Amino acid sequence: MTSAAVSVPLAFDNVGVHRNGSRLLHDLNWTVEPGQRWVVLGPNGSGKTTLIRVASLYLHPSTGSVTVLDHELGKVDVRPLRSRVGIASSTMADMLRPQLTATEVVMCVINGALEPWWHTYTDDDRARARHHLDRVGAAPLADRTMATLSSGERQRVQLARTLMAEPDLLLLDEPTAGLDLGGREDLVGRLAALATDPDTAPTVLVTHHVDEIPPGFTHLLLLREGRALAAGPIEELLTADHLSECFGLPLTLERVGNRWIALAK
């Protein structure tokens, strides 16, 4: 759960990332305040994955400074700090052994581990893991192995694992990637419920698609070629003009209930 002591969950100050002669992020200024739910939207190659790697303390910027949970990157031991940042991504999912049960996958995160064998767990730990599986609609999966789960089911287990850690910052890197329509809509609904839960940490959701933005998300960062085109309240910035500039083609944007649809003109 979000710590009341955290005044700045995440802040990028003129952040640049350069690798092998390429500039992946350019002078990015961006701040996530307590209670905010951010969507990071942009085409392939816009810098979204790089942004998440920096925010999750696995990549240092080439220029500028990054503050995560009131600590400046480069001036703090990142190992204990990482345990306070929850991240769900395809990279993390690939690191989980297929023979583990959903409960084991969720439970072992309290020790920052990918396997349960190196630590001792209590019945209370198992009960908490099952609670978080239930929270994301995955209670029936508790005793099944990851190898037997569909892509959507594995995504829900990974989300439960992230919540089990009770992070102070939640990072979701394309959580709906690879899901069919039913799986995607189920997960979007789960994320919408989390967005309105005051116990959920400040959240950053990365996606390519406006129709995957869950209701309840409050802010939008538009990235193109490593630069921030716009950052601020989603109701003000999610427009056809901004999307067209971001993705480099003329787009229309339609609001359907509390969701959006974008189409090429």
Residue 3 has pLDDT above 70, yes or no: no
What sign does the dihedral 122-123-125-126 (CA atoms) show?
A: positive
The model's pTM is 0.88
Domain edges within the chain: 1-84+170-265, 93-166
Mean pLDDT of 230-237: 96
6-16 confidence digits (pLDDT tens): 899 999 999 99
Q: How confident is the model at residue 234 (pLDDT cuts 50, 70, 90)?
A: very high
Task: Tell me the Cα Rg of the chain.
Answer: 18
Share of residues in the chain with pLDDT > 70 (%): 97
Predicted confidence at residue 19, as pLDDT, reads 86
* CATH (residue range 1-84+170-265): 3.40.50.300
Q: Which residue has the higher pLDDT, 110 or 142?
A: 142
**Which residues, in sequence order, are CB contacts of 247 under 8 Å at separation 6+?**
42, 43, 224
162-212 confidence digits (pLDDT tens): 889 889 999 999 888 778 888 889 889 989 998 999 889 999 999 989 999
Highest mean pLDDT among 18-27, 86-95, 161-170, 234-243 belongs to 234-243
Q: How confident is the model at residue 246 (pLDDT cuts 50, 70, 90)?
A: very high
Checking 213-216 for CB contacts under 8 A at 24+ apart, the result is: 213/39, 213/41, 213/238, 213/259, 213/260, 214/188, 214/189, 215/258, 215/259, 216/37, 216/192
76-122 confidence digits (pLDDT tens): 888 888 888 888 876 677 778 899 999 999 998 887 778 888 888 99
